[in-house]
Chains A and B, each alone.
Chain A
Amino acid sequence: MRNTRQVEILVGLFMVAGMVALFFLAMKVSNLAAVSGGKGYSLTARFDNIGSLKVRAPVKMAGVRIGQVGKIGFDNETYEAVVTMKIEQRYDRIPDDSFAKIYTAGLLGEQYIGIDPGGSETWLEDGGHFNLTQSSLVLEDMISQFLFNKASEGGKKNEDPFAK
């Protein structure tokens, strides 16, 4: 057995190493660093169809992450999805006529909300609402639309379907 002081130093080192590992996991391996700017304000938007949008999906403007989806609800009256977004406080100049769209990262990737800024001079504030929205593109709808188009062109032969 080593003497007490050496044991204490080694135990101290052990505790520090464990804490450092935990800190590393928290800051480097998880999204804590990104979320921790907990202060922010919330905006809502209504969509006809949110596809597979999930809570905590990113909200982006010009491709830059400015917040995340906080809550997804359903309106019993209008049959619309109500999405509440938490936007970081430093991005407080979103024009009130901005356009909220649901995009898909990659062909089959996860979905996120993209905001196209409008031209208004007044900014959205906490509790504000996007009036202009566009639902997510549902792959099945696109395929069936494509097939209907093909079918209606049935008479014209040998035409390149991608021509227009």
Chain B
Amino acid sequence: MSAVLDALAALGAGGIAVLRRIGRASLLFVAMAAGVGELLRKPGLVVAQLYGIGVLSVLLIAVAGLFVGMVLGLQGFYILSQFSAEATLGVMVAASLVRELGPVVTALLFAGRAGSALTAEIGLMKATEQLSGLEMMAVDPVRRVLTPRFYAGVLSMPLLTAMFSALGVLGGYFVGVGLLGVDGGTYWAQIEAKIDFSEDIVNGVIKSLVFGVVCTWIALYQGYDTLPTSEGVSRSTTRTVVHSALAVLGLDFILTALMFGN
């Protein structure tokens, strides 16, 4: 009998712990969202974070976008040429990039490149009691440290995604038109005819905004909520990448179903 009660208690404790984490994460989100007014008065804080989160990610995103586009060009050409429909290569490359691959791959790379760095930075600040030090000086660490990073992440993601997709379309063009002999005019004309601005581009931007919010939020929460030990920081960093990847993939399915499922 007591074994059953123990099992029940363990289950309950686990459930309460999960709810606590969700609650803390939500409170952090509300606090960061409410901090936007203060940031408008001190935009310098966001600019400094945009450098670390956005600018330093450009090289990775640009190279990844170019190569993903080039691979799409190669694979798409191989399949489409079996139906002698090479003319639609551009549509295939652009549609898959703008709708799915751009937002998702950018978010995954962003979680690995910028999200893990954010978690480690905030986690180490907590472990070395810098955040407590700020509180001692009557400075709110959420307002001063976390909120600028949050908005820098949210702002960076759509821009990085746009770069990824644009370079991917160009990569597909280099391979399709340059190497495989698809007609260049047809490549662009088909894209322009078939890709819709509000349906494809805007939905892609909305996706990337959602992913930006989620990835940055997870990274900051994991850092802020970390165990203040070296092992705790290491675990939080791992969790950031895993949780972000799972959240992005799951949300992508839901968003796609909502946007394109009719």
Identify the A interface with B (CB < 8 A). Answer: 4, 7-8, 10-11, 13-15, 17-22, 24-26, 28-35, 56
The secondary structure that dominates the B interface is helix
Least CB separation from A24: chain B residue: B166
A18-B158, A28-B188 known; A11+B54 contact, CB < 8 A: yes
Residue on A nearest B48 in the bound complex, by CB = A7
Closest approach, in angstroms, between the C-beta of B199 and any C-beta of chain A? 9
Determine whether the beta carbon of A21 is less than 8 Å from that of B195: no
Q: Is B47 an interface residue (CB 8 A)?
A: yes
6 tightest A-B contacts by CB?
A18-B159, A21-B162, A32-B197, A21-B166, A30-B197, A22-B162
Hey, which chain A residues are within 8 Å of B188, CB to CB? Answer: 28
Q: Mark B204-248, 1 if CB is under 8 A from A, else 0.
A: 110000000000000000000000000000000000000000000
Q: What residues on B are CB-neighbors of A35 within 8 Å?
A: 197
Closest residue of A by beta carbon distance from B90: A29
A28 touches B50 (CB 8 A): no
A15 partner, pick from B159, B166, B167, beta carbons under 8 A: B159
Taking a contact as CB atoms under 8 Å apart, the answer to whether B98 and A18 are in contact is no
Q: With A7-B48, A28-B188, A31-B195 known to touch, is A22 a contact of B159 (CB < 8 Å)?
A: yes
A31 CB contacts on chain B under 8 angstroms: 192-197
A14 close to B54 (CB less than 8 A): yes
Within the complex, what minimum Cβ distance (angstroms) separates A44 from chain B?
23
Q: List 19 A-B contacts (CB under 8 A).
A: A4-B44, A7-B48, A14-B55, A14-B58, A15-B50, A15-B159, A17-B159, A18-B163, A19-B159, A19-B162, A21-B166, A22-B158, A22-B166, A25-B162, A26-B201, A29-B98, A30-B196, A30-B197, A56-B196
Residue from A7, A11, A29, A33 with most neighbouring chain B CB atoms (10 Å): A29
Q: Judging by beta carbons under 8 Å apart, are A7 and B197 in contact? A: no
Question: Which B-chain residue is minimally distant from A35 (CB atoms)?
Answer: B197
Contact B201 A25, beta carbon cutoff 8 Å: yes
Interface string of B72-113 (1 = CB under 8 A from A): 000000000000000000000010001000000000000000
Indicate if B116 sits at the interface (CB-CB under 8 A).
Answer: no
Question: Max chain A CB contacts within 10 Å: which of B47, B58, B197?
Answer: B197
Instruction: State whether the Cβ of B182 lies closer than 8 Å to any Cβ in chain A.
Output: no
B252 touches A (CB below 8 Å): no
Give the residues in chain B near A25, CB-CB below 8 Å.
Answer: 98, 162, 165-166, 169, 201, 204
B51 touches A (CB below 8 Å): yes
With beta carbons under 8 angstroms apart, the residue of B48, B160, B192 that contacts A34 is B192
